[in-house]
């Protein structure tokens, strides 16, 4: 039986197939044409094999305007740049937007300062004593100065005398001490990173474990001066401690129960601010909106920012790149695989700058197979790091032998990365009596293609010197329990802020640290002594020979097999003036005070 | 009818409780917990401090109640829930209920729009396809429906972004509104088009196929022939006699689409940066943020059960035989 639509012309199955084929072919050609010109470079998933690795196409004609990390900031005088007292009008009210990274536990609670979105914005809303500049160095911000005595046992902090909160209250030493106590408090409902910021202050441990009702080493001298004793003495405390944590307005929390701090509305919306921008809105995992505080007290100390309306968008890299191409975003960090595509965008300028961090493999020396340093050296010789860098990392990065990567005065020119020499690697393994029948375990955390490719590269290169490696894949949720368990031999490590100061390497290699003692099983008393000496003075001339020896030891003992120093790539809207590339992907907006529309 | 609805609700309740128990158990059996996720592995942010001590972890677990036996934790969760307290996010500290409620609105906006697109286009084209069987329109609709079902949502999303945002410049790449611009309905609609269209694509195709086959079956029934022989207009036959009977099985298909839409929205929200429950859920899963995950699971389960209930009611409403059968029993 036919339905009632006989008037509709029928077509045969053959005609249908022919028509469908034509349609499909047409659609396919259209798609291919549409996708061909600017399709992004694929993420490298294939495992490159030494020694004939083809170099990846990386020809970003970037403007490497930023120098490597400069010399360390030590004790500081105010860097105030006096500007006309009357604020100048911004050229336009057009909002500016930048992408900021998200991290696990992304949030805006100022007590939980930890992640990309906050690092990029909070210093502009709630000023810390210092803030990181585009080179990753700390500069005085809410503090007019912070000075360490020669022995490194006492730091004196002076606050900007004209500083005030946006509700008109003065910013005083009491705010600083109260904030420090919050960071040290055990009842704070937040990640552990916040508590580490006051670590090193004498009495912080006792305050944390409840045996003291205040941090004993901290003294308020007057409304704008604080002294803090350091335990142990550390002439570089102001460098190692990240003093960019926002100081909070104590008066907002007066009479608020300390164990209910998270319930104070201020924790969701810090509307009383101290910086050049006021908090407007935080859409969880979406964006942070800031508006310029036109009457900011700092206009006369620094300068008034020209951008009136700022958005920090929490975007993953592919979305950020699509948005910057479309003009919906003005500044973004660029992953290596997107570099070529971004370079072709007519509206965008590309920047490359050495980063403070590094990438490499770390050894679990709790396992007997890796306790002989000749085995670790052999693996270093077995990897063609230059070929890996080109093939897997799009040519980004700079060779480095150890985590002492800067400043320049700290670098021992005699310490160089080991060359690719598989024969020497085999000889070293033979000398060490390495049991070739055993299989090493590589801990692969997560499913990121880049991380996976580095694991496979390691596996293949070691296969060439007859060392078998199995990959053990776990989720990031069990990373730390796996570290604790230690049922593996090699892992991947990356990031950090090593190039800011050589003393920062101590946090990994000193034998009393969690990394060295709990996870790496690494212990070198001489290194401990050197790291202690390295922070006993702030004079680079005295410190340089100390860290030269540190580099020699690290290069000889190879607790980590370094691949390269990271390199940061940025894309900025060509209409944006005053943009400076930053050494850290988290510090998007570090030059926000200089931004202007061209 | 009231008794019928009550009966359905009473059946749904134990199902809901069972879902929460299963969610709770499996969530806690998964490797990792929120405390380990709060610990930094980068020592420049404190690895050498108290953060990595067992004492710190034990303190945090005790504070969060994670050291109690699982049944006790579940009972405590239910007790708080009974008082309307969904708790605070372990990973981020925000109050769960307002945030989830806010995200629920966004997700409903997306999924209901997608569902509306599916229903209007799927049923509309399905009916046309059936009454014009073996026509150009029918074959074209069939071809498109197979394409929509076969192409994964994330690929379609990327394709749409590439074509409509980056090449044709007619739609924004992502987001729910233009940041910094004035809020307007047209801006919201412009941002909604791509994610809703992508999310609704496979549903549209499925509905189209179901409607077509259902209508074809009904159009072959004797009473349609009778109606036609009586000289009724073709339009009247299709709309009044065939469509109402043909649409009955479609109601079930629509209700079954809702769980799929909520599931699909997780991916689509990620790709389009749509501020919905999916994005919140993915983040919460990576953070092992138990209160947030439980709240999202509970609300999703309630939505799906409600959709099924609505389908039952709609079915009874559309087909009097069902409610009469219930009444007679």
CB contact (8 A) between residue A193 and residue B94: no
Is A170 a residue whose pLDDT tops 90?
A: yes
CB contact (8 A) between residue B219 and residue A16: no
Residue B78 phi, psi (nearest 5): -65, -40
B54 Cα to chain A: minimum distance (Å): 11
pLDDT: which is higher, A59 or A547: A547
Torsion (CA) B276, B282, B286, B291 in degrees, nearest 10: 60
Counting residues of chain A whose pLDDT is more than 70, the rounded percentage is 79
**Count of H helices and E strands in chain B?**
16, 0
Residue from B29, B41, B57 to probe the interface with A (highest A Cβ count within 10 Å): B41
- A566 neighbors A333 (Cβ within 8 angstroms): no
Beta carbons within 8 Å of A77's beta carbon, 6+ residues apart: A145
- What pLDDT does residue B326 have? 54
Tell me if the pTM is above 0.80. Answer: no
- A148 neighbors A235 (Cβ within 8 angstroms): yes
| B68 close contact with A: CB closer than 8 A | no
Nearest-by-Cβ selection for B52 from A199, A496, A518 = A518
pLDDT: which is higher, A117 or B103: B103
Q: CA–CA distance from A562 to each of A337, A399, A558, B250, B289 (Å)? A: 22, 8, 9, 61, 34
CB contact (8 A) between residue B135 and residue A8: yes
Give the DSSP letter of residue A561.
Answer: E
CA-nearest residue to A291 within chain B is B180
Between positions 117 and 136 of B, the ones with CB within 8 A of A are 130-136
Q: Average pLDDT for residues A471-498, to the nearest whole number?
A: 88
Is A111 a residue whose pLDDT tops 90?
A: no
Give dist(CA A159, CA A141) in Å, integer.
9
Give dist(CA A429, CA A170) in Å, integer.
66
Residue A225 phi, psi (nearest 5): -135, 135
Nearest-by-Cβ selection for B135 from A10, A187, A205 = A10
Is A399 a residue whose pLDDT tops 50?
A: yes
Using the structure block, give the residue that is written with the tokens 């946006």. Answer: A166
Q: Average pLDDT for residues A444-448, to the nearest whole number?
A: 86
| B6 close contact with A: CB closer than 8 A | no
Summarised one tens digit per residue, pLDDT across range B148-177 is 888 888 899 999 999 999 889 899 998 888
Give dist(CA A418, CA A410) in Å, integer.
19
- What pLDDT does residue B42 have? 53
B121 Cα to chain A: minimum distance (Å): 20
Tell me if residue B292 falls in helix, strand or coil.
helix
Residue from A7, A94, A192 to probe the interface with B (highest B Cβ count within 10 Å): A192
- What pLDDT does residue A424 have? 97
Sign of CA pseudo-dihedral B174, B175, B181, B182? positive
Residues in chain B closer than 8 A to A587 (CB atoms): none
CA Rg value for chain B: 25
pLDDT band at A112 (very low <50, low <70, confident <90, very high): low
- A337 neighbors A395 (Cβ within 8 angstroms): no
Sign of CA pseudo-dihedral B197, B201, B206, B210? positive
Beta carbons within 8 Å of A180's beta carbon, 6+ residues apart: A198, A201, A215, A218
- What pLDDT does residue A386 have? 95
pLDDT band at A56 (very low <50, low <70, confident <90, very high): very low
| B154 close contact with A: CB closer than 8 A | no
Q: Average pLDDT for residues A345-351, to the nearest whole number?
A: 94
CB contact (8 A) between residue A477 and residue B48: no
Give dist(CA B164, CA B253) in Å, integer.
31
- What pLDDT does residue A264 have? 83
Is A581 a residue whose pLDDT tops 90?
A: no
Summarised one tens digit per residue, pLDDT across range B246-291 is 887 888 788 778 878 888 888 899 889 898 888 888 888 888 889 9
Nearest-by-Cβ selection for A328 from B130, B132, B173 = B173
Give dist(CA A261, CA A249) in Å, integer.
13
Residues in chain B closer than 8 A to A287 (CB atoms): 179
Residues in chain A closer than 8 A to B219 (CB atoms): 3-4
- What pLDDT does residue B126 have? 93
Give dist(CA A445, CA A478) in Å, integer.
9
CB contact (8 A) between residue A109 and residue B163: no
**Most confident stretch, A69-73, A220-224, A442-446, A533-537:** A220-224
pLDDT band at B7 (very low <50, low <70, confident <90, very high): confident
Sign of CA pseudo-dihedral A59, A346, B268, A20? negative
Give dist(CA A562, CA A415) in Å, integer.
13
DSSP string, A146-180: EEE-TTSSEEEEEE-TT-B-TTSPBP-HHHHHHHH
- What pLDDT does residue B258 have? 80
Give dist(CA A349, CA A343) in Å, integer.
7
CB contact (8 A) between residue B92 and residue A262: no
CB contact (8 A) between residue A478 and residue B32: yes
Q: Average pLDDT for residues A511-519, to the nearest whole number?
A: 85
| Token output for B147 | 């394409």
pLDDT band at A151 (very low <50, low <70, confident <90, very high): confident
Bridge partners, residue B168, by sequence: none
Residue from B179, B235, B238, B275 to probe the interface with A (highest A Cβ count within 10 Å): B179
pLDDT band at A29 (very low <50, low <70, confident <90, very high): very low
Give dist(CA B287, CA B282) in Å, integer.
9
pLDDT band at B39 (very low <50, low <70, confident <90, very high): low
Residue from B27, B46, B231 to probe the interface with A (highest A Cβ count within 10 Å): B46
Residues in chain A closer than 8 A to B286 (CB atoms): 104, 476-477
Q: How many CB pairs under 8 A join A and B?
A: 208
Q: Each residue of A232-262: b (16+ CB within 10 Å) or e?
A: ebbbbbbbbbbbbbbbbbbbbbeeeeeeebb
CA-nearest residue to B289 within chain A is A105
Tell me if residue A495 falls in helix, strand or coil.
strand
- Name the packing angle between helices B277-287 and B96-117 (round to 10°): 130
Residues in chain A closer than 8 A to B167 (CB atoms): 34
CB contact (8 A) between residue A104 and residue B280: no
Alpha helices by DSSP H, A101-145: 116-125
pLDDT: which is higher, A585 or B286: B286
A452 Cα to chain B: minimum distance (Å): 19
B159 Cα to chain A: minimum distance (Å): 9
Give the DSSP letter of residue B182.
Answer: P
Residue from A105, A535, A584 to probe the interface with B (highest B Cβ count within 10 Å): A105
Using the structure block, give the residue that is written with the tokens 């300028």. Answer: A349
Residues in chain A closer than 8 A to B59 (CB atoms): 186
CB contact (8 A) between residue B179 and residue A313: yes
Is B234 a residue whose pLDDT tops 90?
A: no
Nearest-by-Cβ selection for A95 from B163, B180, B280 = B180
B281 Cα to chain A: minimum distance (Å): 11
Q: ipTM of the assembly?
A: 0.70
- What pLDDT does residue A39 have? 32
- What pLDDT does residue A199 have? 74
pLDDT: which is higher, A316 or B40: A316
The distance from CA A191 to its chain's CA centroid, rounded to whole angstroms, is 17
């Amino acid at each position: 039986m036919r339905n009632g639509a006989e008037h509709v012309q029928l077509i045969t199955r053959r005609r249908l197939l022919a028509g469908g084929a034509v349609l499909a072919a047409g659609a396919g050609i259209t798609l291919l044409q549409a996708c061909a010109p600017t399709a992004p470079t694929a993420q490298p998933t294939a495992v490159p094999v030494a020694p004939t690795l083809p170099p990846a196409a990386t020809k970003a004609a970037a403007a490497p305007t930023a120098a490597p990390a400069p010399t360390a900031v030590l004790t500081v005088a105010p860097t105030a740049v006096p500007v006309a007292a009357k604020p100048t009008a911004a050229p336009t009210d057009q909002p500016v937007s930048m992408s900021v990274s998200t991290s696990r536990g992304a949030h805006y609670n100022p007590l939980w300062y930890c992640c990309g979105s906050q690092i990029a914005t909070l210093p502009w809303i709630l000023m810390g004593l210092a803030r990181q500049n585009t080179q990753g160095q700390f500069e005085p911000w809410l503090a007019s100065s912070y000075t360490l005595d020669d022995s490194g046992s006492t730091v004196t902090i002076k606050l900007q005398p004209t500083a005030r909160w946006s509700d008109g209250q003065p910013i005083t030493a009491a705010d600083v001490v109260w904030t420090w106590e919050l960071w040290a408090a055990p009842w704070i409902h937040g990640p552990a990173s916040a508590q580490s910021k006051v670590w090193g202050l004498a009495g912080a441990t006792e305050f944390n474990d409840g045996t003291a009702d205040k941090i004993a080493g901290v003294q308020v001298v007057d409304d704008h001066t604080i002294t803090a004793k350091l335990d142990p003495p550390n002439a570089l405390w102001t460098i190692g401690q990240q003093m960019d944590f926002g100081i909070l307005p104590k008066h907002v929390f007066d009479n608020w129960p300390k164990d209910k701090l998270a319930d104070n509305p201020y924790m969701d919306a810090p509307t009383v601010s101290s910086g050049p921008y006021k908090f407007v809105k935080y859409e969880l995992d979406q964006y942070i909106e800031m508006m310029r505080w036109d009457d900011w007290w700092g206009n006369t100390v620094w300068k008034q920012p020209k951008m009136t309306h700022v958005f920090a968008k929490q975007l993953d890299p592919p979305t950020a790149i699509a948005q910057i191409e479309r003009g919906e975003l003005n500044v973004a960090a660029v992953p290596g695989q997107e570099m070529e595509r971004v370079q072709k965008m007519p509206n965008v300028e590309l920047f490359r700058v050495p980063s403070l961090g590094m990438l490499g493999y770390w050894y679990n020396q709790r396992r007997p197979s890796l306790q002989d340093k000749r085995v670790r050296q052999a693996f270093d010789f077995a990897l063609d790091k230059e070929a890996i860098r080109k093939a897997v990392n799009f040519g980004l990065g700079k060779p480095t032998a150890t985590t002492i990567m800067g400043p320049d005065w700290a670098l021992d020119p005699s310490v160089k990365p080991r060359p690719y020499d598989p024969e020497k690697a085999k000889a070293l393994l033979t000398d060490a009596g390495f049991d070739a029948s055993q299989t090493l375990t590589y801990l692969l955390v997560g499913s990121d293609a880049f991380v996976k490719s580095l694991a496979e590269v390691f596996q293949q290169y070691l296969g060439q010197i007859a060392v078998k490696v199995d990959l053990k894949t776990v989720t990031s949720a069990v990373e730390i329990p796996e570290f604790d368990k230690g049922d593996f031999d090699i892992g991947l490590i990356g990031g950090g802020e090593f190039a800011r100061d050589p003393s920062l390497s101590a946090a990994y290699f000193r034998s009393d640290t969690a990394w060295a003692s709990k996870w790496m099983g690494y212990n070198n008393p001489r290194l401990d002594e050197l790291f202690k000496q390295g922070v006993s003075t702030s004079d680079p001339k005295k410190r340089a020979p100390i860290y030269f020896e540190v580099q020699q030891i690290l290069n000889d003992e190879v607790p980590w097999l370094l691949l390269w120093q990271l390199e940061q790539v940025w894309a900025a809207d060509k209409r944006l003036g005053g943009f400076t590339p930053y050494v850290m992907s988290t510090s998007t907006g570090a030059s926000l005070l200089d931004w202007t529309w061209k | 009818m009231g008794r019928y609805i009550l009966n359905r609700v009473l059946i749904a309740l134990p199902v809901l409780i069972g879902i929460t128990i299963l969610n709770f158990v499996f969530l806690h059996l998964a490797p990792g917990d929120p405390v380990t996720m709060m610990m930094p592995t980068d020592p420049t942010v404190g690895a050498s401090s108290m953060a990595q001590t067992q004492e710190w972890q034990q303190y945090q677990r005790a504070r969060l109640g994670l050291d109690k036996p699982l049944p006790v934790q579940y009972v405590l969760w239910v007790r708080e829930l009974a008082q309307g307290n969904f708790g605070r996010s372990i990973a981020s500290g925000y109050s769960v209920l307002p945030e989830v409620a806010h995200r629920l609105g966004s997700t409903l906006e997306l999924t209901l729009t997608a569902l509306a697109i599916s229903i209007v286009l799927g049923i509309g084209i399905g009916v046309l396809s059936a009454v014009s069987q073996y026509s150009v329109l029918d074959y074209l609709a069939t071809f498109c429906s197979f394409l929509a079902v076969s192409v994964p949502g994330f690929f379609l999303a990327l394709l749409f972004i590439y074509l409509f945002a980056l090449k044709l410049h007619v739609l924004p790449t992502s987001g729910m509104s233009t940041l910094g611009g004035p809020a307007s309905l047209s801006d919201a609609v412009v941002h909604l088009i791509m994610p809703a269209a992508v999310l609704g694509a496979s549903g549209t195709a499925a509905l189209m196929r179901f409607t077509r086959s259902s209508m074809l079956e009904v159009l072959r029934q004797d009473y349609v022939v009778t109606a036609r022989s009586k000289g009724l207009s073709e339009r009247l036959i299709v709309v009044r006699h065939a469509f109402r009977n043909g649409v009955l099985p479609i109601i079930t298909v629509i209700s079954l689409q809702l769980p799929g839409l909520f599931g699909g929205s997780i991916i689509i929200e990620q790709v389009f940066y749509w501020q919905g429950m999916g994005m919140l859920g993915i983040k919460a899963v990576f953070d092992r943020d138990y209160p947030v995950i439980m709240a999202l699971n509970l609300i999703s389960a309630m939505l799906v059960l409600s959709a099924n209930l609505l389908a039952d009611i709609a079915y009874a409403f559309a087909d009097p035989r069902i409610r009469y059968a219930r009444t007679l029993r």
